[in-house]
Structure 1
Amino acid sequence: MRLHRLTLTNYRGITHRDIEFPDRGVVVVSGPNETGKSSMLEALDLLLEAKDRSARKEVKQVKPTHADVGAEVSADISTGPYRFVYRKRFHKRPETELTVHAPRREQLTGDEAHDRVRAILAETMDVDLWQAQRVLQAASTSAADLSGSDALSRALDVVAGEVDDQPASAGGLETLLIDRIDEEYRRYFTSTGRATGEWAAAAARLRAADEAAARCAAEVTEVEEAVRRHAALTAELAGLKDEKARTTEELDQARLTAQKIAALHSEVERAAVFAKAATDTATASGTAWRERCRCRADVEDRAAAIAELQTAAETAAEAHDTAVEMQLAADATAEQARAGLEAAQRRLDAAHAAVQRLTDRETLARLTGRLSALEQHSRTLEEARRELAAVVLSDALMATIDDAAAAVAQAAAAAEQASAHVELVASADIEVHIAGKPVRLRAGDRWESAITGTTGVDVAGLLSMRVVPGAPAATTQADLDHATATLREALGRAGAADVAEARALHRRRAELQAAVKEHTAILQALTAEGDAAQVREQIAELRARQAENDNTANHNANHEDAAHDETPEPVALRAELAAAVAAHQQARNDCETQRKLAEETGKLVADRGLRAARAKEKLQAARDELAVAEQRLASQRAQAPDDELTAKADTDDRAARLADAAVTRLRDEWAGHHPDAVAAALQQAQDADTAATARYAETFEALREVAAALKVYGSEGRRSALDAAEAERQHAESEYQRVQRRAQAAQLLRTVMGRHRDTMRMRYVDPFRGEVERLGRLVFGESFEVDVDSDLRIGARTLSGRTVPYESLSGGAKEQLGIVARLAGAALVAKEDSVPVVIDDALGFTDPDRLARMAEVFDTVAGDGQVIILTCSPQRYADIRSACHIELAGSL
């Protein structure tokens, strides 16, 4: 197959693209990412495989999103004897058109065109080889699978000598025989070896017969089990009837004993109620007596506590008075410290002001000098820039002038060498006109010149001569004139009269550039802290502040002695500032210390005042609580005196102890009859009677159900059904064994023929391996070897005696081996069976040295085959000498 032309319209993001491919050799189609390189191969597959109305996901994904139109794909293809143009439009107004140009002209549309192309490809193209001869981005490192290619198999058969060893039709007969064996095998087995067809049907029939026979046997066994169970249940029901009568009698006896125990337990409960009432009365009397004792003790304790609180309140009042005196003294000391701090602050402010005035004067002097330097360098820089702007001569133009001057010198030398020379010697004084210009010669003078053009020599009244130079001289003179004109034009653009002036002007330009650079750097350094305008603002601000300070100083000077009129020295001013700072710091520390001391004394006064108030409050509260306690005790004594309350508590306590003794006696008597054992015996008798009743009812119901089931079984004829099922099973087993023998024979024959076919296929592994190694040595070196299995897959690579499995190789080595294997297959396949090798953006893992060697491989196989490379990095394939390059536009 050959792809001659591919046209895409409104395909994904591609508006229109038309590419014509060469019939043979390597073609590199390059373009940036997302320009639709991979989409071209996808479009070709959809064109050949999908119908125009297909609803497949792959077809829906290529619909353009920028316009409501259908995607169109058109291809010019030749395969076998056919050459045709095939076009499809998908999605919107779908249509299919086919024009066959050879071997005879055909025109078809719709499904007829689609079916015709499929038939042509099935007839002339090895589809498995077309799919295998691709290196895609997603699987560029996967091993090449060429095992399904009939075209490659035929080519390897020829290389391996198959055609010489057997008749021409032997390969076809062998293939036909294997196909017949596979067809017979598929009558009984699926492709994965599971039973199917007749054998699966026979096995299913046998399984169904086995299941039916087993089911009928189980039903007959069920009848026999029901008869046996009916007899057993009848005997069991008679025994359960006697057991039920015995458990009823035992239950009545247990109930009578339990009633006697219940009566005795009622007497115990009544005695316990009486004893509880007596105990409650004794408890109330004891509680009242203990409450009376507690009230007497409470009154006594509160009276003692009031004496202690009186002493504490007096002590707290004295401590508060002492703290108040301390606070007054601390406040006075803090006020003195604040006054000292204010005086130190005034001294510090005056020192700061004096030092600031001194600093302003120094800063003003420094800024004034800096502004002067800024203005001077700015003027110099501006002058240099104006002069530099007037110079139009650049480095490139100077280089042009130098080159033109050298060309003039070279052309002048050549003209001088090639020109004719005229030499005149005067025998007497004479005037000669040479090229129209007068030349006076005295006797014995000599005149000579090179002649590059037609020149006339005239002697008035005596001689007229014309000197014509040869062709070389005219040519060199023309070169000289051209070089001179070029130099003159360059000097004119530079504004110079000659080369020397141009060079002097160029040197002056360099000096000006250096000056501009120097003054620019100086100005950058001077303006690092601000430009000239900012410096002027700072100077104005300093002068205004200096004037204000001078006015203030003059005002203060009117109130001071004449000894202070002189300006202090800077050292004295800074020493005074340091002393003022130290004095201010000391005063601030003293003020802070006295302030904190005053605050602490204030806190102490507040704390001691709070304590005194709390002591006084506690004393008053204790007196109030004592009055309440004495009143409560007097009220209780008015209701019952202390002696009467004590006597009642003793009487109630004796009555409670007697009631408890009666309850203990009755409880011991009740426990002597073992009530738990009586209750357990009653419960046991009830459980036994309930269980016997339930077993009897259950057995009776089961016997009734078995009897009913036996009546139903008698009308079903289960024995006859079992005999029929066993007969069907025998027939099914005979049929299964017959089909099994045929299936096993087909399986054995297929296994033997497959082993024979694998043995034959191993004969053409060597030619394929040889071709892979021939091409691979161009990339990996002379020590390169590969291991190829019967499916023509590379299993391992050997390099310098070291063998590495294919899956353990690096991504770059896998990619290179995959391309070499596909190119080897393309080189072996016959010309009429070849298909394009498509490589989509591969060799991304390959170093520059390997890329150069891979280029040799492409050049080696770029004969009659067609290799299409799609890439976004065309420089990877720049070393392929025979490649044809097609560049796609960056915009879709």
Structure 2
Amino acid sequence: MRIGDVSDRSGVSVRMLRHYDSIGLLSPTGRTSAGYRDYSPADLHRLLDIEALRTLGLSLAETRHALDDPAFDAPAVLDRLREEDPDDEVGVDGIPVGAVTDPESVSATADDLRSLSDAAARRAESLQEELDTATRAGAVVRLEGRRRELARSVSVRDRLSAALQAAREETPDSDLDRVVDERRAAVQDAEEACTAAEEKAGDVDVDDLAALADAAAVRVRRLRERAVATGNALSEASGKLSQHGGVAEDLAETRTTRQRAEREARRVERQAAAAHLLHTTVQQALTAARERYEAPFRGTFEKLARTLYGAPVDFEFDADLTVARRSFQGVSLDTAQLSGGAREQLSVLTRLAVADLVGGGDAVPVFIDDALGFSDRGRIGRMNLVLDALGRDHQIIVLTCDVARFEGIAGAEFVPMEQVRAGA
């Protein structure tokens, strides 16, 4: 199973699964040929055990000890947990009971609430099955954890069901279904356009075209040099002919040399014309290929830029797809004329756009080192929105000495360097 499938089945986020792998608490049994994590049913079972122990309040170290050490004293841990939580007030996954308010205060769409309700129901059923298994096996810690989590899951499910009903009264399912159908139609149109573009592009390799263009340019230069040398030889032969007009033997030899030089000149000219045609053709193909690759990059880049600037903004790109000019609110400036903060923001947007295209729907790690140091607070806030949106699909790692720059990222997890060095 891929990491996304395990996350869907268990309710554990992809980010937490990667964290478990990094600390050695839950490492996948294998890897796919592409290098992706491949979890086995035994790995999924261990994950459920981990979540059950964590629900009971065990730390990550205690959880690993409980699963890997046969001498682990489960009754003693249960007694300690009962003393720490005598009233059983800890909710599902650490959420206090009562944290879910009345339906009017729930800030979520009907689809979100329906998904949460269904997930809670599936989780409750899964926990009930595991509870029965644990009871038969006599696993004391797992039994206690499943009972407590089952009760809380049912409570959360009921509250979410009420909130879902309230959301349905405000926005009927028919309206949502209509919006979903429209989005599916748009996605289908985009997929068809993408397929047509790929068929049109064929197997064109931009690097190969560039190499052919360079080779053709060198060939043209050399042929032109040979044409000049041949012309010089022709002129020299003509001069000799004029000087020795009275000598029949020299005249015949000179004429022969001239004829050979003329033939060589014509041959070189034909080769030069052919090389020039090849160079022109390769350059045209290279330009067409670049335009096909530039379109998806430009679309992704400008989409991120609209979030950053809060309004439409246009860009001009160089041949290597670096930003050459920005047009915003009626003012057009070359990149060199922008402030250091603006150039830094465009560099980050370029990196994020490339990562999103390279990923092709899969998560891609992106490293950003101490960025936004020259940006104002408003731009930092909007850049946080960009990083938060991309972080839902990719693993974005930011190294910074000023955590306050990135506090606006809702889904961010801050890890001090001391903890990284300690291997926690």
In the superposition, the TM-score normalised over structure 1's length comes to: 0.23
Q: Which of structures 1 and 2 has the larger relative contact order (alpha carbons within 8 angstroms, sep 6+)?
A: 1
In the superposition, the TM-score normalised over structure 2's length comes to: 0.45
Higher relative strand content = 1
